[in-house]
Structure 1
Amino acid sequence: MTPSSTAMSSDNRFRLSFTAEADGVGLRDFLAESGISRRTLTAVKYKGGEILVNGEEKTVRQELQAGDVVTVIFPPEKPAKGLIPEDGELCVLYEDESVLILDKPSGQATIPSRDAPSGTLANFVAGKFRAEGTPATVHVVTRLDRDTSGIVCIAKNRHIHHLMSGKMQAGGVLKRYEAIVRGMFSNRKFFIDEPIGRREGSIIERMVRPDGLRAITEVRVLETTGTRGEEFTRLSVILHTGRTHQIRVHLAHIGHPLEGDTLYGGNAERIGRQALHCAGLSFSHPLTGAPIEVCSPVPEDMLAVAGFSR
């Protein structure tokens, strides 16, 4: 069910409003049909949110009549423990009250870790939210490895994250990457459908293995350059599943590791990181259903590997 309006309430809490279309529907069932999860309802009830019917606070036992306007005011969120808000430069590709889509440079982690507690994209987003008075923590919808550049999607509250996660699981979020590898391909377009699991003895590295999770990668050749024995190919890659290191593992498995990806056998002579960039992201808006499509140009360090042009 599509909300009739979205806005921030006077105290800056995020709110959604819906209009009942039939008599006799219970408020709890109506909210479930409107995409409000049981977990979200619990947070609204106990952590500072409100449920209003025609402007008056009601319990979920309320029976609705056609035309009733139901408003859910979501509780304010605090940054997660360990996430330090910091001021830093962000490249914003798209933003509204629900989602924030950014262009991440290579060399920057998406979220903090024990070894890198600061300077991450999430630290900077938390700093942006603090400066703007947005009562939210950082909900990462699409995450990239430190050395992978390109598009990252952030949900501005847990409800939007819930809706976007559902879209991801249903295949409703399309991510397109560009990659640079050595060698040539006989097919211009093909699929790699091989299961991926953790490599024994490593907490980081993955590999194709029969007992892994199914992983499907769609690959299309964009252009090839170079001389015999030193050819480079620029690929467009679409993920149909979201396994850790999926593109890196699949391309290495077929004998074409990403240029610069030393973890999976790539050559680092021409670039100091894996030549992988998230160039496109598309999905229908989690609230309005409107199509959202965002693009990011391939960075110069990748193009310079073999003199590719934009």
Structure 2
Amino acid sequence: MSYTTKKFTVETPVLAFRFLMDTFGITMSEAQKTIDRKRVYVNDELLTRKSARIFGEIAVVVFEGTSKGLIPVFETEDFAVYDKPSGVMIHPRKRSDGYTLNDEIKSRYGKDANAAHRIDKSTSGLVLIGKNKKAEIELKAIFAARKVHKRYFALVRGKISDEFLIDAKLKRDIATSQIRLKVHVDETGKPSQTRVIPVCYFEDKHATFIEAIPYTGRQHQIRAHLFHVKHPIVGDPIYGIDEVDAERFLDGSMTHEEQTRKTLSPRLLLHAQSLAFCYKGIDYAIESTFNAKSEFYNLLQEKVNE
């Protein structure tokens, strides 16, 4: 389990945030966030006031990483890179989410280590980790300044013969969509660009293995852009199937077997292949060793319809 409850007995009243700071060695801001996230109980009652004085039986829900043996593929003194499997979230959204990449990060590098960016749960591939708060902040700034060159591999429906640029604004949660987390091409959205480079066309499956380079970092950018140009990624349970089925996937009512049947793959065939950036005057170019071309071909269950 990623979360566990630690119990304490406090005999002398103490400020709640001070108790958390002293007990767990965290900052005042982190202590206040712990209370805001409803993780502190006093005598079996949820604590809601950060300035309250507490005593008696105190229970605190904390995150404790449990490793499954995933090791980084590259690391320096300040950062590490993991090759995340498909189906694993980076951060848990709720206590019942179970194992995430955070389990590996925290168990290996401690509580101050964090991912510097995100990729979708369904997407596999490289994730950059700051081993400490200072490194995390610096790495996030490099991403925010668009100074990280990212390359993805994907297997998409249909034939793509020539390289092209998708320049289409993206917007989340438009009024006509019944899916809250879906991203759409919309003129009122944020500027978004993705270059698409065909690598190999599999005629027997009517699918193209491509390289995708996102010049901007919008949520679901590659998935939404490829869907927009009528070449959705194989295995995508949100973009490329009707919204009723996509909603069923998101609320957990679609079985894995049904997902595979409807999307033609047991997983999203999108992989974060490489990261290139400059950090502290040193240029890094990190490549995944995952054989996406072969693996994706084998995962595509049948020929894509014309």
Into which bin does the TM-score normalised by the smaller protein fall? 0.5 to 0.7
Larger helix fraction of residues: 2
In the alignment, is residue 211 of structure 1 matched against residue 185 of structure 2?
A: no
In the alignment, is residue 113 of structure 1 matched against residue 105 of structure 2?
A: no
**Separation in 2, partners of 1:162, 1:293:** 20
What's the CA shift for 1:169?
A: 2.2
What's the CA shift for 1:213?
A: 0.9
**Map of 2:217 onto structure 1:** 242
What's the CA shift for 1:301?
A: 3.8
- Where do 1:57-72 residues align within 5 Å? none
**Separation in 1, partners of 2:296, 2:136:** 31
**Separation in 2, partners of 1:142, 1:218:** 20
Secondary structure of the residue aligned to 2:73 is: strand
Match 2:203 to one of 226, 247, 256: 226
Match 2:164 to one of 190, 203, 219: 190
Secondary structure of the residue aligned to 2:198 is: strand
Conserved? CA contact 1:261–1:268, under 8 Å: no
The CA deviation string for residues 48-103 of structure 1, in whole angstroms up to 9 with x for no partner, is 9xxxxxxxxxxxxxxxxxxxxxxxxxx9x989855332222223111111101000
Match 1:281 to one of 265, 275, 280: 275
TM-score, normalisation: structure 1: 0.66
- Where do 1:264-279 residues align within 5 Å? 264-265=239-240, 268-269=260-261, 270-279=264-273
Conserved? CA contact 1:101–1:152, under 8 Å: yes
Secondary structure of the residue aligned to 1:263 is: coil
**Map of 1:255 onto structure 2:** 230
Q: Structure 1 unaligned runs (5+)? A: 1-46, 49-74, 131-135
Secondary structure of the residue aligned to 1:176 is: strand
Matched pairs, number? 224
- Where do 1:31-180 residues align within 5 Å? 81=34, 83-114=63-94, 116-130=96-110, 136-180=111-155
The CA deviation string for residues 181-219 of structure 1, in whole angstroms up to 9 with x for no partner, is 111124x21111111111334321111111111111111
In the alignment, is residue 294 of structure 1 matched against residue 268 of structure 2?
A: no
What's the CA shift for 1:278?
A: 0.5
What's the CA shift for 1:260?
A: 0.7
Conserved? CA contact 1:99–1:156, under 8 Å: yes
Secondary structure of the residue aligned to 1:154 is: strand
Conserved? CA contact 2:117–2:140, under 8 Å: no
**Separation in 1, partners of 2:291, 2:188:** 35
**Separation in 1, partners of 2:95, 2:200:** 38
What's the CA shift for 1:160?
A: 1.5
**Map of 2:42 onto structure 1:** none
Secondary structure of the residue aligned to 1:217 is: strand
Match 1:181 to one of 108, 133, 156: 156
Q: Structure 1: which amino acid aligns with 2:197?
A: R
What's the CA shift for 1:118?
A: 2.6
**Separation in 2, partners of 1:268, 1:207:** 24
**Map of 2:40 onto structure 1:** none
**Separation in 1, partners of 2:267, 2:30:** 34
What's the CA shift for 1:149?
A: 0.5
**Separation in 2, partners of 1:106, 1:306:** 15
The CA deviation string for residues 134-173 of structure 1, in whole angstroms up to 9 with x for no partner, is xx42321121111110100011122222222221122211
**Separation in 1, partners of 2:168, 2:240:** 18
**Separation in 2, partners of 1:146, 1:223:** 26
**Separation in 2, partners of 1:122, 1:210:** 36
CA RMSD of aligned residues (A): 2.7
**Separation in 2, partners of 1:154, 1:178:** 21
Q: Structure 2 unaligned runs (5+)? A: 1-20, 35-61, 242-258, 302-306
Stretch deviating more after TM superposition (234-243 or 89-98): 89-98
**Map of 2:298 onto structure 1:** 304
What's the CA shift for 1:226?
A: 1.7
